[in-house]
Amino acid sequence: MRVLLAVTALVVVASAANVSVEDLEFDVWKQMFGKSYGSVEEESQRKMIWLDNRKLILEHNMLADQGLKSYRLGMNRFADMDNQEYQQMFKGCLGSFNKSEIESETTLLEEGAACPRKVDWRAKGYVTRVKDQSHCGSCWAFSATGALEGQMFKKKRKLVSLSEQQLVDCSQSFGNFGCQGGFMDKAFKYIKSSGGLETAYTYPYQAKEGRCKFRNQRAWAKCSGYKKVPCSERCLKNAVARIGPISVAIDVSRHSFQFYKSGVYNEPACSSTKVNHTVLVVGYGTNRRGKDYWLVKNRLFGVAELTSSFF
């Protein structure tokens, strides 16, 4: 019996020795994010991508540990996707901008008193919890509701989460496309024309397009108009300081954003013209190293985060 137990123990030890640290990490990661695959071949392919991304993230974080990077990356739910697949997820989130149209509609904000050195609208009650848009290209709707939530708090002194689903279901005639993308300005035009926007409680988010069920008597928020901020960080800073949270469009296509975890995001390769995602700027400030940053509220296909990015 003792001989049998000894042999069994040796077999177990030998089997365990064949399992690498990467194998164990991959299994833990799959459990953490509820990942499963249709075949052994698919899992093998996903694991290879996962290993490549793991290497990229480890190398980046080594630079962060040395103070050469201002932010850290992490093995999130996108870790088994290559960057092209990741970009396809939000390809239709934001419609194509017509630059001449934007410039013709831009209204310059008047210069006022000097802006405060630091602004954080979360601390003043203007910002709702971070939401999850799930697998629906509705980032434009979340950005629009975020800006309007702040303005309604300023007016009513009560913070209420507004309905992205109403915008997804009801604003197509104004040029939006539900889960296939849209625009913040067209969302504001719809809200103004329709008579208001319901709360997320009376018109909850479903992450898919449906029949418009808006009832005017249930509207909580009104929108009398909107203005576009010129493509200038000075003007954006002025707008954030004087008005509140502001809807903006950004480029999130890089690996660095795909795996962002913490810190002040600074990506030199980021495009200021080829934007593909909308977020909400809720403040700004300067870090201990003297670098200016924006406070950004983001939600992207299951990722809920508050990031900072350099000016």
Q: List, by residue number, the catalytic residues.
A: 139, 277, 298
List Cβ neighbours of 175 (8 Å cut-off, separation of 6 or more).
95, 182, 183, 186
Q: What dihedral angle (degrees, nearest 10) is formed by the CA atoms of 309, 306, 176, 168?
A: 180
Q: Which two tokens stand for residue 55?
A: 């290497």
Reading the block at residue 47, the tokens are 């694991």
Under DSSP, is residue 306 helix (H, G, I), strand (E, B) or coil? strand
What percent helix, strand, coil does the chain show, rounded to 5?
Answer: 40, 15, 45
Judge whether 292 and 286 are in contact, CB under 8 Å: yes
Contact 146, 240 (CB under 8 A): no
CB 220 within 8 A of CB 264: no
HSE (side-chain half, CA atoms, 13 Å) at 17: 6
Task: Return phi, psi of residue 199, to 5°.
Answer: -85, 165
Q: How far apart are CA 199 and CA 156, in angstroms?
A: 14
Any bridge partners for residue 304, and if so which? 299
Give the span between the Cα atoms of 259 and 212, in whole angstroms.
35
DSSP secondary structure letter of residue 305:
E
